[in-house]
Structure 1
Amino acid sequence: MEKATRLFDCMIAQAKEPKADLLNAKENGSWRSYSTEEVHTMINQLSAALLDLGVSGGDGTTEGRDKIGLISNGRPEWIITDLAVQQTGAILVPLYPNTGTKEIEQILNEAEVKYVFVSSKDLCDKVKEVHLNIPSLKAIFTFDSIESCNHWVTLLKPLKDGALQKIQQITDHIIEDDVATIIYTSGTTGRPKGVMLTHKNIMTNAMASGDILTRIPLNEKRVLSFLPLNHIFEKMCTYVYLYYGFSIYYAESMDTIGANMKEVKPSLFTAVPRLLEKVFEKIMVQGQKLTGIKRKIFFWSVRVAEAYEINNSSLWYKIKLAIADKLVYSKWRDAIGGNINAIVVGSSACPIKLEKIFTAANIVIMEGYGLTETSPVIAVNCYQKSDRKFGTVGRLLSGVQVKIAPDGEILCKGPNVMLGYYKNPDLTADVLEGGWFHTGDIGELDKDSFLKITDRKKEIFKTSGGKYVAPLPIENKMKENYFIEQMMVVGSERKFVAALIVPSYTHLNPWCKENGITFSSKNELVKDARVIKLYQSIIDNYNPEFNHVEQVKKISLLPNEWSIDSGELTPTGKMKRKVITEKYKAEIDKMYPCEVSEDPTLVN
């Protein structure tokens, strides 16, 4: 791999080994492939059109360069727009498709976005709703052909004489330290921050990550992409794919991932832990339907997988694993295309039980860790057994440095660390000190140099007795139980620790049937004394693994799953603790009936 310094240099690398199916997406129900030549032509056509519209790199400073917004699901047009914008010297500002209108207005105004590309009518309508409140915004273009909207294909005209030379003159002056994108973090609390990432930030991370991915014995270089492309995890991985000769297939939607996997037969994909939980849930649903010997074999195989250890040399275990693989695990792999070698997992902590189960089934889970501000990878578990360890996020990525502060916070330094927060020097100074980025995560490096995340600094709370509690390890451990779908530990300034729990109805419903418990709604079910007793017994079994102050004394079962759409989760699946706390204040207060406020103004 020749040294490349800018993200759009991937076009030079691709031209040497062109592909007929570089980018692929479903159009009118059938897969449509875009060749390397076609993609490059479209990128150059869009670059030329943007230049004709007056888009430019301005005076070369981050503030002086034009900003182009992009709000879309993953599709070929996304990466084509990204690369085209880069070639003009402008800066891409991508947003999540589910971003609210108020936040869209705030971000587009702060970045002074000049043009916006959106994928669909509903997103076009969202931007139109606030268009008049954004003085810098000149026009909206849509990827879908929509009546009364500017279709982006009107920009893709045959190149005029001298167009390529003009683009070349501009790209010749773009350097690795120039900002390539401003990504606004969703954040679990507070106002989104615009993270300025340079070509060098993302490129160094992509090259080091690519070295790891290319060591996986892949059957074919074909990936399925379904995570949001404006999330730095998927965006950086996309550049790995573009530089290292992968074909990228974009899933139609989150609901069609299973069907798309069977069609595409990818050898690799990226995911968040929540998706793995959902995949395993579906596997268990199918297992629950089995009867007789098939049912016994299925659940025996699950128990075998749960006992998996990376370096287990027991011959008897290997024999059991081989039998389980032939009878059960092979069917799991077939369900996700039959060609998968590994899944790269990030964004939040992956339950160890899931890591073991999938890895035992020859679907190696490569969990990593990073933040938008670190482009994103800081550490990752590799495919090779010697470079993997359950319960950790792997060893440090090449070129990345980490040190643990006296209070346990993980500090990161390297070419991957952001330039800063856009238009927010004070906040930048709060997290960047001497080149070291303060991640806000608590962790440790073990004796084998594997990084372990123990909690989020801001999420650690203090009980009314003055004892500190880290909720994440408690939640991660207890969520290993199949009956617990989601869980949030509470207890800040309270006498004891309690928890909000969303049951896994996939497992709870069959249990209710076996125990003669009938119900007309989930609301009724979570109030059933027998169900509450079941969950309290599960919690009681885990409590001895924690010290007295960390033990969960009371629980409240909730009927509905937390989701992105209902506002309790960020677009990457992380809990918005503040939102959940406020939304379920009544349920939390009921778990602390004896704690009466001493504020006389609140006493009747």
Structure 2
Amino acid sequence: MRESSSPALPAPAVGGLADSVYDTAERSPALVQFSRRRGDRWLDVTAVQFRDEVMALAKGLLVRGIRYGDRVAVMSGTRYEWTLFDYALWSIGAIPVPVYPTAAAEQVRWILAETQAIACVVEHEDHAMTVGAVCDALPDLTGIWQLDRGAVATLTEDGHGVPDSLVHRQRLGVSPDSVATVIYTSGTTGRPKGCLLTHGNFAAEADALLAGWGSVFRDSGPVAPATMVFLPLAHVYGRVVQVASVRGGIRLGHHGQLSTDSLLPAMASYRPTFLHVVPYIFEKIHQRAREAAEEAGRGELFAQAAETAVEWAAAREQRALGRGPGPGPALRLRHRAYDRMVYQRLRAVFGGRVRNVMCGGSSLSRELGLFFAGAGMTVYEGYGLTETTAAVTANPPGKPKFGTVGRPVPGATVAIGDDGEVWVRGATVFTGYLNDPHEAGDDRYDGWFATGDLGSLDEDGYLTITGRKKELIVTSSGKNLAPAALEDRVRAHPLVAQCLAVGDDRPYVAALITLDAQALAHWLKARGREQLDPWTALADAELHTEIQRAVAAANTTVSRAESIRAFRLLPREFSLEQGLLTPSLKLRRQAIIDLYADDIAELYAT
């Protein structure tokens, strides 16, 4: 197998994740650890204030009967109180179990029953009703605490009179091998499984990121580093952002929604210095910026600026890799001019101080990565799974290779099997699945974990992900196709929101395509046409021709046997609420195929 690896960091010999809260408060009590949003203002929380809140909540949990090793579910959007509960539970050796706030009652029942959770923290009344609807099937569940009804204050009050020493006694019993959390996989195929992630897994991941990308996180001049977590804390990526920020003394703000309409005003007021994002955020912001320029009569200017940004970033990339001289005088001059006219405005959307971004969760196109780098925000794309405690690879500081997911993080090794599958090993790889630690045995060999993803390593050790083994399409003629790259190329068209290729045991490849409603409205307005409702749009000949162009452009990159021969436009996007997306916004392929079985059948009827 072809391998790529990075030297390991010293592993923590003792202790758990909560230790950093108490150590930081002792060492730097006035350090601003968090900022909490109150309307348009952000109120600072120092390290000593956070420690005191964590300690007080931990005492209340002890009074309510939570003990070392107990599992407590947390069902909420991303907010400060979630982080508070995480560290309070870790302080007494308990195990938080995240539940996605969009989870259906049956999913909640399954997770709480399998984990034998003895209590559940919920955000609001709707979540309480969801848990309440299935609590009869949960004999271990003894309490439900609702954040919007003062759960933190109530538990804190309960803990008055409990000595600090009782919490510290519990905390000192936590070791790197202790289970820190049970995170359920996103479940793009099959039923989600609970991954047992240890305190050592999270510490190794956070320390690897802080050691390898510390210069990226702290590239903010005289301003103290600050980031915002808006990814779900029920997802391993959001959880790692939280842990790394606390361990690294980086100011952290919380925002509970991924929609750009909500997120952009929050970033403008918070003004982070770097971000962790998923590609969806970049795709939407780029699209909205282009549409705004076109509506203002500056569409050609934006297109020229985008072309210059890509060219400039590509030239800098080649210079960093030792394969070119970098941008020439004319290109530098053009880039400087567009920076004043276009790029500064784009950076202002992110608050004006972001210069570096870590990106993961799904694939980001090379062109989009180059565009944002050219606009002054370098994107360091990475790759990982729940089972690897998030990133196992990331593009190295100063040497990103756009279109790849980078090299192994410190302590990790990546290899490519004979069938193209990506194998990994290192201190961040999980210990097994809940109630069946050996279920991962089929995916392991001599310390290696088989990811189920397909990829390749280039001559510099950079990894490129090409698809999922389980998502391979095998047509009736025996042709194999990893659909992800083809789908991404269709999605590159501004009108396309999502694309799902199908074709298993069929004579050719077809696709289900959804449209971006805002982009469609902009497209119709630019042509002086009346707005169309979703159902009318499906029958619009001009729109169908435009999407056919996007499909044809994508088809030029593959053989005819791999090309999309037919497609069906759908009236609305695949959504989390329908159960068609994972919380990191990946397509749940089988769920979509099942729901749209009739539409797929019609694609092959003729």
The answer to whether the superposition gives a TM-score over 0.5 is: yes
Q: Are residues 1:38 and 2:46 paired? A: no
Are 2:469 and 1:463 equivalent residues in the alignment?
Answer: no
The question of 1:281 aligning with 2:287 is answered yes
Q: Which residue of 2 aligns with 1:597?
A: none
Structure 1 residues 362-373: aligned runs within 5 Å: 362-373=376-387
Pairing of 1:348-387 with structure 2 (within 5 A): 348-384=362-398, 386=399
Give 1:276's aligned amino acid.
F
1:547 positional shift: 1.6
Higher RCO structure, 1 or 2 (CA under 8 Å, sep 6+):
2
Alignment of 1:75-86 (within 5 A): 75-86=79-90
Q: Secondary structure at the match of 2:18?
A: helix
Indicate conservation of the 8 Å contact 1:543/1:551, yes or no. yes
Is 1:265 aligned to residue 276 of structure 2? no
Superposed displacement of residue 461, structure 1:
1.5
Give the structure-2-normalised TM-score: 0.91
AA aligned opposite 1:486: Q
Structure 1 unpaired stretches of 5+: 58-64, 595-604
Q: For residue 600 of structure 1, what is the aligned residue in structure 2?
A: none
What SS does structure 1 have at the residue aligned with 2:405? coil
Residues 469 and 549 in structure 1, CA contact (< 8 A), matched pair in contact too: no
In the alignment, is the contact (CA less than 8 A) between 1:261 and 1:337 conserved in 2? yes
Given the superposition, is the C-alpha separation of residues 52 and 514 from structure 1 closer, same or farther in structure 2, using an over 3 Å criterion?
closer
Matching residue within 61, 66, 71 for 1:55: 66
Asked if residue 419 in structure 1 is aligned to residue 423 in structure 2, the reply is no
Other structure's SS at 2:556 match: helix
Indicate if the aligned counterparts of 2:16 and 2:171 stay in contact, CA closer than 8 A: no
Equivalent position SS for 1:500: strand
Q: CA RMSD in A?
A: 2.1
Q: Which stretch of structure 1 is more off in the superposition, 327-336 or 503-512?
A: 503-512
CA distance in 2 between counterparts of 1:158 and 1:514 reads: 61
Say if 1:351 and 1:479, in contact at 8 Å, map to a contact too: no
Q: In 2, Cα distance between the equivalents of 1:382 and 1:323?
A: 29
Q: Which amino acid aligns with 1:342?
A: N
CA contact (8 A) 2:414 2:422 kept: yes
Amino acid at match of 1:46: L
Deviates more, 1:491-500 or 1:514-523: 514-523
CA distance in 1, matches of 2:78, 2:538: 37
In 1, are the aligned partners of 2:181 and 2:197 still within 8 Å (CA)? Answer: yes
Secondary structure of residue in 2 paired with 1:439:
strand
User: Within 1, Cα distance between the matches of 2:556 and 2:281?
Assistant: 30
Letter in 1 for 2:62: L
2: CA distance, partners of 1:145 / 1:83: 20
Deviation (angstroms), 1:28: 5.6
Does the CA contact (< 8 Å) of 2:273 and 2:353 recur in 1?
A: yes
Map Cα deviations across residues 117-138 of structure 1 (whole Å, 9 max, x no partner): 1222221222122222210011
Equivalent residue for 2:234, pick from 225, 230, 236: 230
Alignment correspondent of 2:181: 181
Q: CA deviation at 1:184?
A: 1.2
Deviations 1:68-115 (A, max 9, x none): 111112222111111111121221111111111111111101111111
CA–CA distance in 2 between the matches of 1:360 and 1:563?
Answer: 32
Output the CA distance in 2 between the equivalents of 1:466 and 1:519: 43
Cα distance in 2 for residues equivalent to 1:483 and 1:315: 36
Q: Secondary structure at the match of 1:206?
A: helix
Picking from 319, 327, 347, the partner of 1:313 is: 327
The alpha-carbon deviation at position 298 of structure 1 amounts to: 2.3
Secondary structure class of the residue paired with 2:396: coil
Q: Is the 8 A contact 2:309 2:375 kept in 1?
A: yes
**In structure 1, distance between residues paired with 2:403 and 2:253:** 31
Partner residue in 2 for 1:546? 558
Distance 1:504 1:315, change over 3 A: farther
Partner secondary structure for residue 489 of structure 1: strand
- The answer to whether the 8 A contact 2:89-2:95 is kept is yes
1:343 aligned residue (329, 349, 357) = 357
Instruction: Please give the alpha-carbon distance, in whole angstroms, between the structure 2 residues aligned to 1:363 and 1:465.
Output: 45
- Mapped pair 1:333 → 2:344: no
**What's the counterpart of residue 33 of structure 2?**
22
TM-score (norm 1): 0.91
Distance 1:566 1:481 in 2: 24
Q: What is aligned with 1:406?
A: 418
**Is residue 256 of structure 1 aligned with residue 256 of structure 2?**
no
What amino acid is aligned across from residue 203 of structure 1 in structure 2?
A: A
What is the letter of the counterpart of residue 478 of structure 1? V
Asked if the contact 1:380/1:396 (under 8 Å) is kept, the reply is yes
Q: How many angstroms apart in 2 are the aligned matches of 1:117 and 1:200?
A: 25
Give 3-state SS (helix, strand or coil) of 1:218's partner.
coil
Which residue identity is paired with 1:36?
Answer: A
In the alignment, is the contact (CA less than 8 A) between 1:21 and 1:247 conserved in 2? yes
**Counterparts of residues 565-584 of structure 1 (less than 5 Å):** 565-584=577-596
Which residue pairs with 1:586 in the alignment?
Answer: 598
- CA change 1:401–1:425 in 2 (3 A) is same
- CA deviation string 1:461-494 (max 9, x = no partner): 2000011111011112232232322111111111
**Pair 107,542 (structure 1): closer, same or farther in 2 beyond 3 Å:** closer
Residue segments in structure 2 that go unaligned for 5+ positions in a row: 1-8, 319-325
Deviating above 6 A after TM superposition, structure 1's stretches of 4 or more consecutive aligned residues are none
Partner amino acid, structure 2, of 1:14: T
1:216-266 alpha-carbon deviations (Å, 9 max, x no partner): 212431111111112111111211111111111112533421111111110
The amino acid of 2:200's aligned partner reads K
| Preserved contact between residue 77 and residue 123 of structure 2 (Cα < 8 Å) | yes
Kindly indicate whether the alpha-carbon contact (under 8 Å) linking 1:183 and 1:195 is maintained by their aligned counterparts in 2: yes
Pairwise mapping of residues 551-562 of structure 1 onto structure 2 (< 5 A)?
551-562=563-574
CA deviation digits over 1:134-166, x for unaligned, max 9? 1001111122127xxxx3311113866672222
The residue that corresponds to 1:599 in the other structure is: none
- Offset of 1:586 from its aligned partner? 2.3
Contact 2:382–2:395 under 8 Å retained in 1: yes
Count of aligned residue pairs for this structure pair = 579
2:547 is aligned to 535
Note the C-alpha offset of 1:173.
2.1
Tell me if structure 2 keeps the 8 A contact 1:487–1:500. yes
SS of corresponding position for 1:92: strand
Q: Deviations over 1:540-584 (max 9, x none)?
A: 233222122111111212221222123221111000111111222
**Structure 1 stretch displaced more, 302-311 or 486-495:** 302-311
Q: What CA deviation, in whole Å up to 9, does each residue of 1:381-422 have, x standing for no partner?
A: 1331x2x10111001101011111111111111111101000
Percent of residue pairs identical: 29
